[in-house]
Structure 1
Amino acid sequence: MKKHFLLTLLLSISIWSGLAVQSAYAQFGGPPGGGPPGFGGQDGRKKAEFTGVSDDTPKGNGKISGQLVDSLSGKPVEFATVALMNIKTNKPIDGTTSDDKGNFSMTKLAPGEYRLQYSFIGYKNLLSQPFTIAKGTDLKVGAVRLPADIRLLGEVVVTGQAALIEEKVDRLVFNADKDIATKGGDASDVLKRVPMLSVDLDGNVSLRGSSNIRVLINNKPSTIVASSIADALKQIPADMIKTVEVITSPSAKYDAEGAAGIINIVTKKNTLHGLTLNVDAGAGLRASNLGLNGSYRQGKLGITLGGFGRAGYNRASSSLDQTTLVGTQLQKTSQQGTAFDNPIFGQYTMGFDYELSKDQALSANIRYGTRNFIQQQTQLTSASIADSILSMTNRDVNRKDLSNSIDMNLDYVRTFKPQQEWSISTQYSRTGLVNNFSADLLNMSNILTGRQQNINNNRNQEMTIQTDYQTPIRKNQLLEFGGKAIMRTVDSDYRYLISRGEGTLANDPTNPSGALSYNQNIGAGYISYTYVTPSKYTFKVGTRYEFTGISAKTENSTLAIPNYSNLVPSLNVSKSLNSTTTLKAAYNRRIQRPGLQQLNPNPNAANPQMISVGNPTLKPELTDNVELSLSTTIKKTYLNASLFGRLTDNAITQIRIPSDTLAGGIITTFQNIGVQRTYGANVFFNATLTSKWSVNGGLDGYYVYMQGATPGVDGRSVTISNSGVSIGGRLMSQLQLNKGWSAQVFSFWRGPNPQLQGTMGSFYMYSLGLRKDIAEKRGSIGLAAENFLGNGVTMRTNLNSPLLSQVSTTHLYNANVKVTFTYRIGKMTFEERRKSKSVNNDDVKSEGGEGGGQQAAPAAAPAGGGRPR
């Protein structure tokens, strides 16, 4: 607000400083606490008195009226300054401001010769032709079209610096577009920098130690995320991400899925007017990328087109030492492996929005994504009992993880008055996956002894329709309610082929083919109520009911998976202790339904020592969450500290068990373990050391206790438990240098992570980036280096159970240096953002207006008292 106030002063200083002050107050509804007549509250917005004129200004009975509109869109320009200039002295003698429909009028004008001068932030000053006012003149100037000031727009962009990390009433916001080192990367590179999140070397994301989260893209779910979060993140270019929102305590309006919380990735959306083309390119030792994004916006219609491609290369090595109980004897297995990854990712988007009328808007989007992950592996495995060699095998494996996805949505929103609106949204999402491998089996002399092939085709489809309504009650209360229907389908077909030597591949009798058809239908309704007290308390209470119907069958049988229903309550309370300190407390219950890979019954034996297979009989897990947080600002440093606790029943967890058919083989599957208790804390800060130097970082840690069942020595299930502490931290510093240069350094470390059957190893990462703005900030050239010291990152994992013990080590050679280039072609002018709504299978409304519109606080909400959602 202060920034816009100063810009208004600068824009209007050529008229009168008093006139500029009046224009700014008229725009923002008056100064805090009211003010003199003509400035305070709503009255100031309806009519502003001209203060740049002395009391002895000549009076008469002349009148002038008209309307100010944008020269391109034709939309009214609200609260702009209109000055009546004396032609002889070139000084203003009277004036006013336009109302919320752009209309203006001046009365009691004395006879004379005048001009009108129009001015407002974001527009060029405009002078009318001279005209004469005679006694009784009623002059109607009609619609006056104000041209946008493109030069001034550039100044607004330069000075409008948002903090890297912001805390909103119900979420934490990471402004990714300020992070220069992630250019040329993907979404997983961005999420590594977000407080409370951890991203491992495979791209798997966890929130406060839990991987049971919901990830949205522009407030919408996607089947690519449902199939694999790690794969989905690799398809989203880092350069297109505006913010990442972390919501740890969703209200009843959010879908109940996501036990630990919700992550919403908001991509950059054009809010300007005109035609542009953005080019983003990068080349590095591990990956290269090219992106083209164009937009056109004219009048009521906006169209966007975009394409992005990324090709990568990486190398990894691994070792495994394992002891397995086979009968009454211990079998020792060791394996040395290498892998070469060649992934190619791409996505293409098209969208449009159209303003049907002043209070109605329609929008649609279509997105197509493709993923081609090709990996070549070599595996040298030996097995022995009592120091006697049982076997030595050599396998050359080619893995192909291919996918294509499409997301389409059509949305309509009707606004009746501020905060009162109704919307209906629809979405169709479909992902097809191919998860195949072929292996050549070699002896120690590298002679082919046989071949093996696994073919696995999957389909994940989702259709959603939802409607939402919200309305204010009095001035400090908000009521929201709505309903939703989701229809999901998961299909998987798989089979194994095998041959001896160079023979023809045929069905493998030891690994029969199979299929899964899984249908899930969800019906939901919610009601939420927000109340803001005069003492700066904000209460948001609500409940959500969800019914889930499931039908599932394999190739040979129907699975008995019962339907279930859940009542999901939530309570959020915030208190503004003073202008800089806020205390928040929250409770909610969440549901985590199993994902595609957790359900897929295909036994993927690309590495027979580490076979993975899903469990189609998985049940959802239920989690109760509590959270207490305190945020404050001390001079130029923002601090946030929080305590949290999670109690989970039927937690979905990976379980490792010995293979029944392959001695020494380990099967990784999923089960609903008994209980999981997690207690933790996190602290982070954001400090502005100087106007050009900022530092931010934090520490987080949690204690977890897990209890579940696993096969025992006698074949019966035995109860096992494990507990431990995990600690992590990050540090980032950004420096703005002279002549358009900027620099950034980032580091992250995550300690060992307790699992039910052992401990996942620690890992770290760091990066350094430099960037130079070019062509008056239309483009930039950057250089970034990641993990450039040493020889990559090593992660060691230990697994233990009554039947096995295993130590696996993965070494990732991920040192990287990359050059990035961006450039913007085209001419844009400022335009007011249109209201929009969209399907959101966690019903997330983006803070800040991206992808769903920002909700304003009730009129009676005190400053700093929080914004109801």
Structure 2
Amino acid sequence: MKYKIFFISVLSILIFSSDLFTQNTTGTIEGIVLDKNNGTPIESADVTLLNAADSSVYKGSTTGKDGKFKFQEIPYGKYSLRSNFVGYSTVNVKGIILNSANNKIVLDPVKLSSGSVTTEEIVVETEKSAIQFEGDKKVFNVSQNPMNQSGSLIELLKNIPSVSVDADGNVSLRGNTNVKITVDGRPFGLDGQNRSQLLEQIPANQIESVELVTNPSSKYEAEGVSGIINIVTKKTKVFGYNGNLSLNAGSRDKYNGSLNLNLKNNNTQFFTNYSYSLNNFILTGGTNRTNNQSTTENLFTQIYDGNSRIKSHFVKGGLDYFINQQNTLGFSVTYQNSERSRGEITDSRSFDINNLLTSSTLIDYNLSAKNNTFDLAVNHIFKFKNPKQTLTTDAIYSQNNNEDNGFTRENYLSPTGQNPGQIMEYSRIKDKDFSLQSDYIHPFTENTKVEAGYKIRMRDKKNDYSNRYFDYTTNQYETNSNLTNNFEYRDIVSAAYLQFSSTEGIFSYTAGTRVEHTGTKSLLVMNNSETKKSYVDLFPSANISAKLSKSTEMQVSYSRRIRRPGMWELNPFVNASDPNNYFSGNPGLKPEYTDSYELSLIQFLPGTSLTPSLFYRHTKDLISRTRVYIDSNTTLTSFANYNTSKSYGAELIFNSQPVSFWNLNGSISYYKTEIDASNISSAYVNEGSTWSGRISSSLYLPLQFSLQLNYFYSGDILAAQATVEPFSSFDASLKKELFGGRLTTTLRVSDVFNTLKFKVNINNDVSYREQFERKRDTRVITFGLSYKFGEADKNQQRRRRDSNRENQGNDGFGF
């Protein structure tokens, strides 16, 4: 409770104190123009400030006797600058971003060459704001965050507004776990059941930004009910060669290191990243289950302790080749390999209705697993004479292989005299994913365009599973035919979309529709049971925004989304690695459909941006877990389609810089969920509300120190049968830069108060009540070193080209 009061107080002070600042959404851009040969100031040189979006002239000026120029009261936005003088070269300065975090920009000296007919281009690399808004995307720039110099991607996501991560690594967006996650726009095996393990094996220091699309338009794949989280990995824009080496060591044997190398010249960019991690975890938890229907058995309890060890390698390499002004070709390869081991000792006990012990077992479970993911992507961009008219083609192939070997030994302590049960399990999953996509943009005018595209995606998944038990009669392991099978799943999704966008005065609007045809086939090999489905869906979308003033913009949007059941949800295998908790899929699952509505406002205040949003989601045939008794001590967890689900709520995202050395950002959200699963049981009708919030404080201290504090809280999360109890975490990080920023040291403490855990109450079933809890050692102290090297200028990059080609490359696409 004290954390809730503290958190609410901090947010209230932050929000209401914004009125104390004088409103100002403008800044200044200044610099000096010099003669490149002798370094003397150039008087009366022309300096023109242009809007980056359309290259229109915003303001012009000339330099004074000292060669200096200054543009004042410039609205926040993206700009470029052009400087020239008779008898001298022309210099274009691009990438000037004016915002609350950078409201006074002093450019490096602009140097003109006398007697030259070339045009020199300078791209300014200003430090990006922590939060940026780009159309229907919210972009969170995380590369400079000291918290992310160590740890994994799953830990990074915990600090992203609107995103929640529980103690089991389940990621949700606005309280909904049905979110599509991609890496650089590619699946990377994250559609499977091992998503949390994969996210945990991607190092946080390889990430540039996280993009959230909470109500995607029709040009996006329709998969993902609550939206899309796209992880953008690092790729330098700086010319020359450069790199970064980082090493981190954490308490209780947690280590990772990474190496990044980049090389870029006029026509080619090459990049490669490698990281290695070794993490050991301590696992604890337990279960208390009360049987309401049995006349003999009443209470079942489990307490378990365990440990896990994860070793992983992550490699990414790529090449971008700028063939000419019209053509760019890109290649990238990503490979991830990991080995996991896990051991648990579970004390299981059963009690009768008189609370007397009826049985007691000690279960020893050991797992050895291997996983590898391979991802190959080819991209081609063609620009027409009008550089805003483009044709983009992408081909992506991903393959994920997972192999598990498990051994369970159940020792019977009471009653005595029984031979221990021994079970050997083997599971192998092969997942192949191929997609081919083409997107075309045709601008009719400066403010009107049509986008169209086609995509085909083919997935092939296979799961081989065997269960063998030790037979004391034959004194050997025998195959359990009831729990052994092979399952195959294939689907093909073909899609086409058409989208129209235009701007009229203060209004901008986008409307489109997407057509997707889905064909699926699943096969249970042992009994040759085959299921085929084929269906066509329409996914319309619309977005209207109004720029009410220079500092205020309002958006309203609608989209229809789908969630298709995954292979692990369809797979009818019964996993019996825990003799008291079985798990199985449901091959009869239908896809779920969601209509999503959102109203948001973007408000810029002095040194602060506020984004309040209202959202509503209506879901039909919701896919969710169910849990039922199959005997007095054993439950079966599976999946079912619920009738409907309704979610609605409000969210506020904020980013503030009260003073130059202090930055605050975060979010707070409240939402209510109503679930109707009366088609499963009349008792499965539930509703409830919850709230969550986070706040991140960054202090830039003297002597190149910086301190960051993060706090996150999530209230109750509702399901038809159960409620997930609140959980929270508090992290702290101290960073020190040395040798001009080339060497960085970081000290980080995650989950300082050791409060992050996963606790569930199953309290809406007439047959039983259950409470289970899981936790691992989330409180970790990590020390890290990071060293930057290379010849590139970190503030700017230069590219020379012939003046008669000056206008051909002004494309705004970054190529």
TM-score category of the 2 structures, normalised to the smaller one: 0.7 to 0.9
Q: CA deviation at 1:242?
A: 1.1
Distance 2:670 2:287 in 1: 29
Q: CA deviation at 1:561?
A: 3.6
Contact 2:48 2:57 in 1 (8 A): no
Q: CA deviation at 1:385?
A: 2.4
**Which aligned pairs between 1:707-746 and structure 2 lie closer than 5 A?**
707-709=676-678, 718=682, 720-746=684-710
- The 3 A distance-change label for structure 1 pair 214 and 99 is closer
Q: CA deviation at 1:215?
A: 0.5
Contact 2:89 2:118 in 1 (8 A): no
Q: CA deviation at 1:373?
A: 2.4
Partner of 1:59: none
Contact 1:8 1:20 in 2 (8 A): no
Partner of 1:258: 224
Partner amino acid, structure 1, of 2:640: Q
1:510-541 Cα offsets, whole Å, 9 max, x none, are: 7431111111011110000001002x111100
Identity fraction in percent = 26
Q: CA deviation at 1:719?
A: 5.7
Q: SS at 2:197's partner residue?
A: helix
Alignment of 1:365 onto 2:335: no
Residue in structure 2 matching 1:490, options 451, 461, 467 = 461
Residue in structure 2 matching 1:763, options 698, 722, 727 = 727
Choose 271-280 or 411-420, whichever is displaced more: 271-280
**Which aligned pairs between 1:517-556 and structure 2 lie closer than 5 A?**
517-534=488-505, 536-555=506-525, 556=527
1:426-464 Cα offsets, whole Å, 9 max, x none, are: 111110112332112223399972321111111111111
Q: SS at 1:231's partner residue?
A: helix
Q: SS at 1:277's partner residue?
A: strand
Distance 1:143 1:761 in 2: 69
Alignment of 1:474 onto 2:445: yes
Partner amino acid, structure 2, of 1:410: V
Contact 1:449 1:500 in 2 (8 A): no
Q: CA deviation at 1:98?
A: 6.8
- The 3 A distance-change label for structure 1 pair 658 and 402 is farther
Alignment of 1:812 onto 2:776: yes
Q: CA deviation at 1:557?
A: 2.9
Partner amino acid, structure 1, of 2:175: G
Residue in structure 1 matching 2:47, options 8, 16, 21 = 21
Partner of 1:317: 284
Q: CA deviation at 1:4?
A: 9.8
Alignment of 1:97 onto 2:66: no
Contact 1:354 1:363 in 2 (8 A): yes
Q: SS at 2:446's partner residue?
A: coil
- The 3 A distance-change label for structure 1 pair 496 and 30 is closer
- The 3 A distance-change label for structure 1 pair 3 and 606 is farther
Partner amino acid, structure 1, of 2:364: D
- The 3 A distance-change label for structure 1 pair 17 and 451 is farther
Choose 175-184 or 480-489, whichever is displaced more: 175-184
1:95-127 Cα offsets, whole Å, 9 max, x none, are: 573799xxxxxxxxxxxxxxxxxxx97788475
1:156-193 Cα offsets, whole Å, 9 max, x none, are: 65xx2322122332121111123212321111111111
Residue in structure 2 matching 1:593, options 544, 564, 573 = 564
Distance 1:238 1:315 in 2: 22
- The 3 A distance-change label for structure 1 pair 586 and 315 is same
Partner of 2:656: 687
**Which aligned pairs between 1:351-500 and structure 2 lie closer than 5 A?**
351-387=318-354, 388-416=356-384, 417-444=386-413, 449-500=420-471
Distance 1:652 1:832 in 2: 53
Q: SS at 1:616's partner residue?
A: coil
- The 3 A distance-change label for structure 1 pair 19 and 124 is closer
Partner amino acid, structure 2, of 1:184: S
Distance 2:309 2:512 in 1: 48
Partner amino acid, structure 2, of 1:526: Y
Q: SS at 1:674's partner residue?
A: strand
RMSD across aligned C-alpha pairs, in angstroms?
A: 3.1
Residue in structure 2 matching 1:184, options 150, 158, 163 = 150
Distance 1:552 1:428 in 2: 21
Partner amino acid, structure 2, of 1:425: D
Q: CA deviation at 1:757?
A: 0.3
Distance 2:31 2:63 in 1: 19
- The 3 A distance-change label for structure 1 pair 508 and 392 is farther
Distance 2:34 2:649 in 1: 50
Alignment of 1:750 onto 2:714: yes
1:199-219 Cα offsets, whole Å, 9 max, x none, are: 001111101111001011112
Q: CA deviation at 1:28?
A: 8.9
Contact 2:88 2:113 in 1 (8 A): no
Contact 1:440 1:448 in 2 (8 A): no
Contact 2:300 2:633 in 1 (8 A): yes
Q: CA deviation at 1:708?
A: 1.5
Distance 1:306 1:624 in 2: 40
Q: SS at 2:790's partner residue?
A: strand
Q: CA deviation at 1:828?
A: 1.7
Contact 1:164 1:178 in 2 (8 A): no
Partner of 1:514: 485
Contact 2:50 2:57 in 1 (8 A): no
Q: CA deviation at 1:338?
A: 0.8
Partner amino acid, structure 1, of 2:308: D
Distance 1:448 1:330 in 2: 23
Partner of 2:210: 244
Q: SS at 2:374's partner residue?
A: strand
Q: SS at 1:475's partner residue?
A: coil
Partner of 2:591: 620
Contact 1:292 1:306 in 2 (8 A): yes
Contact 1:11 1:121 in 2 (8 A): no
Partner of 1:838: none
Partner amino acid, structure 1, of 2:410: L
Partner of 1:109: none
Residue in structure 1 matching 2:194, options 218, 224, 228 = 228
Distance 1:401 1:11 in 2: 64
- The 3 A distance-change label for structure 1 pair 448 and 301 is farther
1:120-167 Cα offsets, whole Å, 9 max, x none, are: 977884756xxxxxxxxxxxx787697x99xxx9xx65xx23221223
Instruction: Identify the structure with the greater strand proportion.
Output: 2
Number of paired residues?
743
Contact 1:23 1:81 in 2 (8 A): no
Structure 2: which 5+ residue stretches go unaligned?
Answer: 1-24, 66-79, 94-105, 801-810
Distance 2:323 2:813 in 1: 21
Partner of 2:261: 294
Partner of 1:162: 128
Contact 1:278 1:824 in 2 (8 A): yes
- The 3 A distance-change label for structure 1 pair 223 and 502 is farther
Partner of 2:760: 797
1:685-739 Cα offsets, whole Å, 9 max, x none, are: 222111011122331111111121577xxxxx65621111111111111000112
Distance 1:207 1:269 in 2: 26
Q: SS at 1:182's partner residue?
A: helix
Distance 1:345 1:549 in 2: 35
**Which aligned pairs between 1:574-723 and structure 2 lie closer than 5 A?**
574-659=545-630, 663-709=632-678, 718=682, 720-723=684-687
Distance 1:527 1:27 in 2: 23
Partner of 2:308: 341
Contact 1:234 1:345 in 2 (8 A): no
Contact 1:79 1:97 in 2 (8 A): no
Distance 1:27 1:241 in 2: 26
